[in-house]
Amino acid sequence: MDINWRKIGLGVLAVDVALVNLGVGYALFKPAAKPTSNQSATTNQIPSETAASDSSSINQGLVDNLALLEKRIGLLENKQTATAASPVVEKTTTIVKTQPAAKTKSTQYVTIPGSGSTSQMNWTNIAGTEFYLDTTDYPGLLEVYFEAGVSLFNGNGRAYFRLFDATNGIGVQGSNIETTSQANSVVTSGKVSFWRGKNLIKVQAKSLTSDTAVFTWGRLKIVTEN
């Protein structure tokens, strides 16, 4: 709300002037005290002269006060104008959400060299199937599967196959597959877990009944996401 300081100041000044005039009138026209026998006629004139002098001083004081009041009103009006003119600054924050880039799955195959067979009932290395594998060569690696074409020569019993980590001396977890078919069949393992590092991997086979377990071919199915 805008305040009209000039109107307020002038109103206060008008009240002030009225009160002063009332006081001056009272001083001029109030009955003088009855002189005593010891006082001269000259003394009776002092109240009137004193009142006139007081009136002149009061009027000069009013002029000075008016000038001071005008100055203060001007300062207040300037301050109010500056305050009203000050711009209001609103801060706006913009949040930009970026969607992550969509990842793509891809599948590649690593061929396992060699082929062979065995009639041993214990795990036996299939010669010529050695290869090195380092999982860090496949960024974004998700899954690995062992696929192979295998058979049981006479179909008598059951043939087993697996991957063997020769570097660490352990069977590769999840790589076991089996068959009872005389015909060459493609068999896929579950998810295979390799140990970290560059490891020498081999194919091993065994037979349940001394019938010949045949490994024809093999490969790794590698799934990555990047």
Residues 6+ apart with CB under 8 A from 48: 28
Co-location of 109 and 190 in the same domain: yes
Please give the pLDDT value at position 41.
44
Looking at the 3D structure of the chain, how many domains does it have?
Answer: 2
Please give the pLDDT value at position 59.
63
Instruction: Please choose, from the candidates 72, 88, 87, 84, the residue with its C-alpha nearest in 3D space to the C-alpha of residue 2.
Output: 84
Range with the largest mean pLDDT of 26-30, 41-45, 72-76, 98-102: 98-102
**DSSP three-state, residue 22:** helix
Please give the pLDDT value at position 42.
46
What percentage of residues in the chain have a pLDDT greater than 90?
54
Does 94 map to a domain? no
CATH number, domain with residue 171: 2.60.120.1340
Distance, CA of 184 to CA of 80 (rounded, Å): 99
Average pLDDT in the 195-216 region? 97
> Residue 133: which pLDDT band, with cuts at 50, 70 and 90?
very high
Please give the pLDDT value at position 43.
45
Whether 10 has a pLDDT exceeding 90, the answer reads: no
Co-location of 215 and 120 in the same domain: yes
Co-location of 111 and 204 in the same domain: yes
**DSSP three-state, residue 10:** helix
For residues 13 and 66, the answer to whether their CB atoms sit within 8 Å is yes
Please give the pLDDT value at position 61.
67
| Single pTM value for the model | 0.58
Does 114 map to a domain? yes
The 10 Å CB-count burial string (b at 16+, else e) for 198-220 is ebebbbbbbbeeebbbbbebbeb
**DSSP three-state, residue 2:** coil
Q: What is the length of the chain?
A: 226
Co-location of 67 and 142 in the same domain: no
Please give the pLDDT value at position 9.
59
> Residue 98: which pLDDT band, with cuts at 50, 70 and 90?
confident
Q: Are strands 116-118 and 213-225 parallel, antiparallel or unpaired?
A: antiparallel
**DSSP three-state, residue 183:** coil
Please give the pLDDT value at position 158.
98
**Domain limits at 143?**
105-225
Task: Please state, as a whole number, how many other Cβ atoms lie within 10 Å of the Cβ of residue 102.
Answer: 5
Whether 81 has a pLDDT exceeding 70, the answer reads: no
Whether 65 has a pLDDT exceeding 60, the answer reads: yes
Co-location of 53 and 113 in the same domain: no
Does 99 map to a domain? no
For residues 208 and 148, the answer to whether their CB atoms sit within 8 Å is no
Co-location of 111 and 72 in the same domain: no
User: Which residue has better confidence, 34 or 80?
Assistant: 80
Residue-wise pLDDT for 31-60, tens only, equals 544 544 444 444 444 455 555 555 566 667
For residues 162 and 171, the answer to whether their CB atoms sit within 8 Å is yes
Does 96 map to a domain? no
Does 196 map to a domain? yes
Average pLDDT in the 147-176 region? 98
Instruction: Please choose, from the candidates 121, 118, 126, 122, the residue with its C-alpha nearest in 3D space to the C-alpha of residue 218.
Output: 126
User: Which residue has better confidence, 52 or 61?
Assistant: 61
The mean of the pLDDT values for the chain is: 81
